[in-house]
Amino acid sequence: MIVLASVVAACTGSTSGPTTTTEATTTIAQPPTTASPPTTASPPTTRPASPDETLTSIGDPFYPALGNGGYDVTRYDIELTLLDDGTIVGFTTVTAVATADLDRFSLDFGSTSATPDDQPTVDAVRVDGVDAGWDHDGEELVVTPPAALTAGASFVTEVEYSPVASAAESRALPVAVGWYEGPSGVRYVVAEPDGAHRWFPSNDHPSDKATFSISVTVPAGTIAAANGSLVDQIDDIGTTTFVWEEDDPMATYLATVVVSDRYAVVRDEAAWAATGIDVRHILPDDMADDPPIALDRTAEMIGVLSDLFGPYPFDEYGVAFVDGFGAALENQTLSLFDTELADAPILELVLIHELAHQWFGDSLTPRWWEDIWLNEGFATFAELLWIEHEGGETAYRDEIRRRIGQARSSGLGPPGSPSPSNLFAGGVYQRGALTLVALRDEVGDDVFFEILRAYTARYAYGNVTTADFVAVAEELSDRDLSVLFDTWLYDDQIPG
Ligand SMILES: [Zn+2]
């Protein structure tokens, strides 16, 4: 994710060097640095264990209300219908495996911050086809199946609900998450980190990834796009149903939908020929006629990053331009970009940033939100790699010097210990990237890129912690890197 306020500020300022992506430190206050930074690169965190806690918590130390214990979701089938009055009604089927004997279980759904009128109403819940009991309170939908579930058993939960609520403020940053409606009328989902359960009942935590089918029925003439591939388009009297399938595991926060009657799907046939990746962009009609020039470099960007990081992890890629968002977000196979970025000089670097997230964040997803630097530090580092690709080592070194100076003068905090109320702090981005610069300098290019490729291969489509990355780096370099990671990730001061 990149929040736009600071990007626009950077682009309109009288900068002499290349403009860079920076997090919204001007609009989001820096968190106080932690009083006692961890002394190891893998801070152990106590996870809750009691049955009451695991019912409604998967144990995330930052956001204990997100996720639930007792089961592992394997698939979501989400069916939405856009009614003529603009209301969206939903029907979600959750296929899961019980990891414990369960006489009840919880799904995250709804919002505590929404007004009562903006809270979805649950109309029916069934487990394995039989009506189940439920209690919907705030963000938790506690389901009592008609018969207890046995550990190891697969079970299917169906939830009917209406309406799908609009976006509400996140607990992690002062940005709304959930369903947006832009000034142009385009409707879309922005969910990182805690907005997925505002629009579909889920185990809303990045550690429980699943495959997805997202089916959207809209009035004829409107299009609906989502993650993955369009596998079916069904025209009926006055409506069209678009069925999208993401068959690689995906975290809930990366699921998205874009709906508009003034949009087009634009296929990049040349990118398909060059990469074998189905590159399709979802663009407003006027932009579809004249797409931003930087989009023409998508295939080249996929090639450059694949050489450095290992094979592109998914079958599709593309971006959707939407208005009223104020950010860019790396939804799996379909990144969202605010239309303000279309003409901004910064667009190329933001495209690289969100594309890099397809490896770091989407394929390799943090197990716990506290390790968000594994997303943002790596995606920001990719910007530096693109600058090096374009301008050589001198440009790379100049940009690093500039960013270190900026990080020092802004007092950016350590990337390994952000605040739960300001998860996307500037330090997570810029100092996270500088951690990788320091590692590259320490081990040399050959070993460094071996580390990145081994890391992306070993944990593809799974979850990662900081300790996982440190272990791969130490193994491949055959060095003790604890001092490097401890100082770069957790020291208040920027090393050097
Ligand atoms: Zn990002």
How do residues 120-142 score in pLDDT, each as one tens digit?
A: 999 999 999 999 999 999 999 99
| Distance from residue 373's CA to the centre of ligand 1 (Å) | 9
Question: What residues of the chain score a pLDDT lower than 70?
Answer: 5-53, 113-114
With a threshold of 0.85, does the pTM exceed it?
A: yes
Q: Report the C-alpha gap between 191 and 173 in whole angstroms.
A: 12
Beta-carbon contacts of 158 under 8 Å, excluding residues fewer than 6 positions away, are 91, 92, 93, 94, 124, 125, 126, 127, 129
- Other CB atoms within 10 Å distance of the CB of residue 307: 12
- The two tokens of residue 63 are 């956001």
C-alpha 144 to ligand 1 mean position (Å): 38
Backbone angles phi, psi at 406, to 5 degrees: -65, -40
Cα(237) to ligand 1 centroid in Å equals 41
* CATH number reported for the structural domain that contains residue 453 in this entry: 1.10.390.10
Query: How remote is the CA of residue 21 from the centroid of ligand 1, in Å?
Result: 10
- Phi then psi for residue 225, to 5 deg, are -120, 155
At residue 113, the pLDDT reads 67
Q: Which of 261, 295, 313 is the last residue of a domain?
A: 261
| Of 241, 114, 259, 239, the residue nearest 184 (C-alpha) | 259
Phi, psi for residue 15 in degrees, rounded to 5: -85, 145
Query: Is residue 405 included in any domain, yes or no?
Result: yes
Q: How far is the CA of 340 from the centre of ligand 1 (A)?
A: 17
139 located within any domain:
yes
CA distances from 342 to 223, 292, 296, 318 (A): 21, 6, 13, 14
Contact yes or no for 119/78 (Cβ under 8 A): no
How far does the centroid of ligand 1 lie from the alpha carbon of residue 329, in Å?
A: 7
With contact defined as beta carbons under 8 Å apart, do 415 and 377 qualify?
A: yes
Tell me the CA–centroid distance for residue 285 and ligand 1, in Å. Answer: 27
CA of 229 to the centre of ligand 1 (A): 23
Q: Mark whether 40 and 104 lie in a shared domain.
A: no
**146 Cα–ligand 1 center, Å:** 43
Q: How far is the CA of 428 from the centre of ligand 1 (A)?
A: 10
By residue count, the chain amounts to 496
Nearest in space to 243 (alpha carbons), one of 56, 359, 77: 77
**Do 104 and 24 reside in the same domain of the chain?**
no
Helices 347-356, 373-410: axis angle to 10 degrees equals 140
CA 291, CA 284: separation in Å to the nearest integer?
A: 9
Would you say 251 and 333 are in contact if contact means Cβ atoms under 8 Å apart? no
Query: Hey, is 351 helix, strand or coil?
Result: helix
Measured CA to CA, the distance from residue 341 to residue 355 in angstroms comes to: 15
Q: Strand 88-98 to strand 121-127: parallel, antiparallel, or no bridges (unpaired)?
A: unpaired
Question: How many Å lie between the centroid of ligand 1 and the Cα of residue 447?
Answer: 25
CA of 383 to the centre of ligand 1 (A): 11
Question: How many domains does the chain fold into?
Answer: 2
Q: How far is the CA of 425 from the centre of ligand 1 (A)?
A: 11
Do residues 104 and 222 share a domain? Answer: yes
> Could you tell me the distance, in angstroms and rounded to a whole number, from the CA of residue 186 to the centre of ligand 1?
23
Q: What spacing in Å lies between the alpha carbon of 141 and ligand 1's midpoint?
A: 31
Q: Do 251 and 373 share a structural domain?
A: no
Find the domain containing 214 and state its range.
62-261
Provide the CB-side half-sphere exposure for 223 (13 A, CA).
14
CA–centroid distance, residue 173 to ligand 1 (Å): 14
Q: What is d(CA 90, CA 164) in angstroms, rounded to the nearest whole number?
A: 7
Q: Write the pLDDT tens digit of every residue in 406-431.
A: 999 999 999 999 999 999 999 999 99
- Cα of 22 vs centre of ligand 1, distance in Å, is 10
31 alpha carbon – ligand 1 mean position (Å): 19
Please say which residue of 207, 234, 261 terminates a domain.
261
- Provide the greatest CA pair distance for the chain: 67
Both 103 and 167 in one domain: the answer is: yes
In a domain, 425, yes or no: yes
Distance, CA of 327 to CA of 337 (rounded, Å): 6
Ligand 1 center from residue 10 Cα (angstroms): 17
**CA of 330 relative to ligand 1 center, distance in Å:** 7
| Any domain includes 271 | no
Which residue is listed with tokens 């709304």? 176
Q: Which helix (H) or strand (E) element contains residue 329?
A: strand 327-329
How many whole angstroms separate alpha carbon 141 and alpha carbon 201?
Answer: 8
Helix (H, G, I), strand (E, B) or coil at 199: coil
> What residues contact residue 450 under an 8 Å CB cut-off, 6+ apart?
476
What is the distance in A from the centroid of ligand 1 to the CA of 246?
Answer: 21
In a shared domain, residues 257 and 381: no
Residues 217, 135: one domain?
yes
How many Å is the Cα radius of gyration of the chain? 22
Q: How many CB atoms lie within 10 A of CB 300?
A: 13
Query: Can you tell me the distance from the alpha carbon of 115 to that of 112, in angstroms, rounded to the nearest whole number?
Result: 8
Tell me if 339 is assigned to some domain.
no
Q: Where are the beta strands (DSSP E) in 83-153?
A: 88-98, 105-108, 121-127, 130-131, 133-137, 140-144
432 CA distance to ligand 1 middle (Å): 11
CA of 47 to the centre of ligand 1 (A): 27
User: What angle, 0 to 180 degrees and rounded to 10, lies between the N-to-C axes of helices 373-410 and 466-477?
Assistant: 90
Note whether 15 and 66 are same-domain residues. Answer: no
Torsion angles phi and psi, residue 7, rounded to 5: -65, -45
Structure tokens at 194: 């805690």
- Out of 261, 292, 324, a domain closes at 261
Give a yes or no: residue 403 inside a domain: yes
- What is the Å distance from ligand 1's center to 429 Cα? 8
**Per-residue pLDDT at 46:** 46
Distance in Å, CA 352 to ligand 1 centroid: 10
How high is the pLDDT of residue 227? 98
Contacts 24+ apart (CB under 8 A), 134-137: 136/109, 136/110
78 and 38 within one domain: no
Q: For residue 241, what are the β-bridge partners?
A: 217, 234
358 C-alpha to center of ligand 1: Å?
Answer: 10
Ligand 1 centroid, distance to 236 Cα (angstroms): 39
Distance in Å, CA 374 to ligand 1 centroid: 10
* 359 within a domain of the structure (yes/no): no
Give distance in angstroms: CA of 172 to centre of ligand 1. 14
> Cα(133)–Cα(53) distance, rounded to whole angstroms?
20
CATH of the domain at 110: 2.60.40.1730
CA of residue 328 to ligand 1 center, whole Å: 8
In a domain, 28, yes or no: yes
Which three-class secondary structure string do you get for 272-302?
HHHHCCEEEEEEEHHHHHCCCHHHHHHHHHH
What's the CA-to-centroid distance between 19 and ligand 1, angstroms? 16
Residues 238, 376 share a domain: no
Cα-to-centroid distance, 23 and ligand 1 (Å): 9
Contact 197, 68 (CB under 8 A): no
Same domain, 230 and 187: yes
Compute the distance from residue 220 Cα to the ligand 1 centre, in Å: 35
Q: Are 404 and 374 in a shared domain?
A: yes
